[in-house]
Amino acid sequence: MTEELAKVYNPAEVEQKWYKYWEESGFFKPNQPTNKLTDKPTFTIVIPPPNITGSLHMGHALNNSIQDLLIRYKRMQGFQALWVPGTDHAGIATQNVVERELKKEGKTKDDLGREKFIERIWDWKKEYGGRITQQLRRLGASCDWSRERFTMDEGLNRAVKRHFVQLYKEGLIYRGKRIINWCPKDRTAISDIEVTHETKKGSLWFIRYPGIEGSRDQGIIVATTRPETMLGDTAIAVNPKDERYKHMWGKTVELPLVGRHIPIVKDDFVEQTFGTGAVKVTPAHDPNDYEIGTRHNLPMINILTPDGKITLKELTEQREKDGVAGIEGMDRFKAREEIVKRLEEQGLLVKVEDYETSIGHCYRCNTVIEPYLSDQWFVKIKPLAEQAIAAVEEGKIKLIPERWNKLYLQWMTNLRDWCISRQLWWGHQIPAWYRGEEIFVGEEAPKGDGWQQDPDVFDTWFSSALWPFSVFGWPEETEDLKKFYPTDVLVTSYDIIFFWVARMIMAGLHFMKDVPFRTVYFNALVKDIHGKKMSKSWGNVIDPLEVIDKAGADALRFTFIALIAGQGQDVKLSEDKITEARNFANKIWNVSRFVLMGAGNRDVQSQVSGELELADRWILSRLNQTIKKVTKDIDSYEFGEAAKLLYDFIWGEFCDWYVEIAKIRLYGQDEKAKAAVQNVLLEVLEKTLKLLHPFMPFITEEIWSRVAGRESKTIMLEAWPEADEKMIDPAAEDEMEHLMEAVRAVRNIRAEFNVPHGSEIEVTVVSKRKINDRYLKTLTKIGKLSFVEKLDKKPAQSASAVASGMEIYVALAGLVDPEKETARLTKEKEKLEGELKKISARLADGNFLSRAKPESVENEKVRQQEFSTKVKMLEERLASLG
């Protein structure tokens, strides 16, 4: 170390340099440091693949900070640590992005045709798809990029085909005409969980369906939230127990406007108490009505086009079409208004009530979804779910925090079949072919002429479900697959527990006969400081890359990890928090600067040797306690706690106390003592840097490169520190506590009486216990310090304080106002007396004495002793003041 460190740490100068060095040196590969395969245990994480369309947001930053923390930690512990990176092809999202691009050129995807359009997307992917992986590098993510995968890679395509074909052969996949959720904007089916429900204010329209059996009877009144679907009504349903409608059972009424005659059927589904107890039945546009329709063999009339406009194509009679002339081609919401208007004109709208109803929206584009009848592929989920439930119940997979178990199990037991076909072009095309009535399902196209492949593609999650093994080459039995499956931990945010986690578990158990990961750590969601979701339209987004530019990746990472301590559902991020972490980085930088300036010429592999004095024994004890606790906390996924511990140790103990005490010897004349303290400084710094490395990889590497010897290529492959029990020294810790108390007391007096910092004071300590006078003198700038065991006469013109087992007098000629001093000490005394009263009451309570743990009782007695001594000292002092 020759070059002097700058006063302020500048992350921008060093971060990218180190990342490049690490990556080019191959340090991210699992077979470090020898580059040979070993028998050391593996530790594997597969990344939740970000969408290729995405750019790094705070959610990614948090999620990947945690993964990197774990991977770096395990790597240092000697595991063959592998973190597999990759990206997801994100069907709808990607297709939308490229479609938007085309739109700017005045074209649509249909102008290009399927093949050209897909080519266009691949071009786009080549250009922009790598953006997010570059951004992950900025964060410091130590992924093995040589194993990077994309969910549309050839290999992964093979895996998806195998997935589908095998499940089909096992009878777990079927095709059928069902009511699915249709997004009229994206014009594709989506699965149940891709629908988000929002409660919205709407209306409940009461409509009269007149003319029983063609008569002029007043008929029946139904209540509906969706009058426009009446064009597709094929029945009215009433509850079989509902006597009110008994006379109408089996008869027909006339569908208003349309003029079709539809039957009144009996069905248990209908609640007598809701509305009028009569329901219009539109089997093609409502899941319940579909069920009713199936039970009663009703016709199913589709009245909507794929983009949500009214079509009359399926109305059979011309007069029906005439009845609703002008509505064809109208948007569904416009049509609703129009139909209500017409009903009103004909006097068939009985009343309108305000009504709150929950409406499904596309989770991606927020369009109101339509229940829609169409041919789709489904996965029969029950048999797969059973094993997946068992795996979590039996603890083969541990969810952290544990509370997610309940949600997972609840959801898994209520699963409905999964619609996996999407009417998109971008994705894995379904390997099914049709020829007339024939269907062929296979990994390769069938032989023979006239076969047409299904134009649909799979739900993106159908391929990401395979991620933990498809990345290793499945269905090939590769070396990697054998070595790294099952993976160890999955780190993901809880909002995709169903989309992804559950499905990986099902797929892993089914195809690999083993869990895909042993632990799932759910990280929180990142919100703004008010707890609001970050979104561009709110304008409350903090861009992680800007933060990295300004404050450094380490600061961002540390912010997250320190913030997640409580494992709540959200973390609230703010610029202030980031500044705090940046300041911490700067503190680390500066204490390192101090150590290097004062001890940088010492031998590289520092050995703690020579005379260890109190502060040395204390800081080494604290260091080893910290090693122990930090290790334990990371092992139990208490990352926030571990971060806090390091923060407190470095700032609150090493910097605030040890460094100050170290200066005595460092700047002194005794060369032997100087060498001793230099060794301790280096020892603490080195171990601390190692502990800190998984949290803050860049700054620790930068400093390490200036501390460590030539034989150490990188801190990231150094061994994780192990606590040395021998160094844990309760006596030293106790003695230091004692000293600190005295120091604080003197400093307090200095501040209270405005004694200028430059002026040396005269202090008398009354104590039976030894205290390190050198430390006390230096830390409080005492000119003359005397110790006495007992004081006969209290010094006049002094301010005083009590600490455990001691009285402290600071001579302040002319500065002490007896009245003020009396007030100050009285306040202190009252505080202590209050506490003493509580303790005494406890000790006077027979129940406490007999039932509390003996050590609690003992503890209270000690405290009582301490407090009463202090109070007594204060009383004496107050008396002497008059």
Partner RNA sequence: GCGCGCUUAGCUCAGCUGGUUAGAGUACUUGCUUGACAGGCAAGGGGUCACUGGUUCGAUCCCAGUAGCGCGCACCA
Q: Does 754 bind RNA (CB under 7 A)?
A: yes
CB neighbour class for 296 (10 Å; exposed up to 12, middle 13-18, buried from 19): middle
Picking from 343, 35, 50, the residue whose alpha carbon sits closest to that of residue 207 is 343
Find the binder of RNA among 506, 591, 677, 696 (CB under 7 A): 591
438, 610, 693 from 679: Cα distances, Å = 81, 9, 21
Q: How far is the CB of 68 from RNA (least distance, A)?
A: 21
Write the DSSP string, 398-427. EEESTTHHHHHHHHHHT--PEE-EES-SSS
Find the binder of RNA among 390, 407, 731, 796 (CB under 7 A): 407
Residues 737-765: b if buried by 16+ CB within 10 A, e if exposed:
ebbbbbbebbeebbeebebeeeeebbbbb
Peptide bond into 33 cis (omega under 30): yes
Q: Does 590 bind RNA (CB under 7 A)?
A: yes
What's the rounded Cα separation, in Å, for the pair 702 and 715? Answer: 9
Q: Does 805 bind RNA (CB under 7 A)?
A: no
Q: Does 280 bind RNA (CB under 7 A)?
A: yes
Q: How far is the CB of 407 from RNA (least distance, A)?
A: 6
Find residue 45's DSSP bridge partners.
83
Interface mask (CB under 7 A) for RNA, residues 569-588, using x and -? xxxx-x-xx--x-xx-xxx-
227, 231, 253, 560, 575 from 256: Cα distances, Å = 11, 9, 9, 61, 61
Interface mask (CB under 7 A) for RNA, residues 111-150, using x and -? ----------------------------------------
What's the rounded Cα separation, in Å, for the pair 70 and 557? Answer: 13
SS3 775: helix
Q: 343 to 402, contacts with RNA by CB under 7 A?
A: 357-358
Q: How far is the CB of 351 from RNA (least distance, A)?
A: 14
Q: Does 413 bind RNA (CB under 7 A)?
A: no
Find the binder of RNA among 835, 875, 876, 878 (CB under 7 A): 835
Picking from 866, 754, 730, the residue whose alpha carbon sits closest to that of residue 806 is 866
Q: What are the backbone dihedrals phi and psi of residue 652, each rounded to the nearest 5 degrees, phi first?
A: -80, -25
Q: Does 279 bind RNA (CB under 7 A)?
A: yes
Find residue 48's DSSP bridge partners.
none
In 3-state terms, the chain is what percent helix, strand and coil (to 5)?
50, 20, 35
Contact 61, 560 (CB under 8 A): yes
Q: Does 848 bind RNA (CB under 7 A)?
A: yes
Q: Does 593 bind RNA (CB under 7 A)?
A: yes
Q: How far is the CB of 410 from RNA (least distance, A)?
A: 7
Q: How far is the CB of 315 from RNA (least distance, A)?
A: 21
Q: Applying CB under 7 A, what is the total number of residues that bind RNA?
A: 106
- Select 407 or 823, whichever has its Cβ closest to RNA: 407
- Select 75 or 602, whichever has its Cβ closest to RNA: 602
Choices 42-50, 276-284, 500-508, 600-608; region in contact with RNA by CB under 7 A: 276-284
Q: Does 762 bind RNA (CB under 7 A)?
A: no
What's the rounded Cα separation, in Å, for the pair 565 and 567? Answer: 6
Q: 219 to 248, contacts with RNA by CB under 7 A?
A: 222-226
Q: 164 to 193, contacts with RNA by CB under 7 A?
A: 192-193
What's the rounded Cα separation, in Å, for the pair 57 and 75? Answer: 26
Q: How far is the CB of 438 from RNA (least distance, A)?
A: 34
157, 499, 776 from 794: Cα distances, Å = 88, 75, 21
- Select 192 or 386, whichever has its Cβ closest to RNA: 192
- Select 231 or 659, whichever has its Cβ closest to RNA: 659
Query: Which residue's entry shows tokens 């032997």?
Result: 672
- Select 614 or 779, whichever has its Cβ closest to RNA: 779
Q: 533 to 572, contacts with RNA by CB under 7 A?
A: 563, 565-572
Q: Does 852 bind RNA (CB under 7 A)?
A: yes
- Select 246 or 831, whichever has its Cβ closest to RNA: 831
Find the binder of RNA among 2, 34, 35, 273 (CB under 7 A): 273
Query: Which residue's entry shows tokens 């779910």?
Result: 385
Q: Does 659 bind RNA (CB under 7 A)?
A: yes
Choices 62-70, 310-318, 346-354, 635-643; region in contact with RNA by CB under 7 A: 635-643
- Select 174 or 411, whichever has its Cβ closest to RNA: 411
Tokens encoding 448: 């023979």
Q: 482 to 501, contacts with RNA by CB under 7 A?
A: 498
Q: How far is the CB of 311 from RNA (least distance, A)?
A: 21
What's the rounded Cα separation, in Å, for the pair 484 and 43? Answer: 8
Q: Does 753 bind RNA (CB under 7 A)?
A: no
- The DSSP 8-state label assigned to residue 8 in this structure reads S
Find the binder of RNA among 709, 758, 814, 882 (CB under 7 A): 758
What's the rounded Cα separation, in Å, for the pair 774 and 658? Answer: 13
Picking from 238, 517, 206, the residue whose alpha carbon sits closest to that of residue 340 is 206
Choices 15-23, 273-281, 485-493, 812-820; region in contact with RNA by CB under 7 A: 273-281
- Select 251 or 582, whichever has its Cβ closest to RNA: 582
First CA to last CA distance, the chain: 61
- Select 177 or 851, whichever has its Cβ closest to RNA: 851
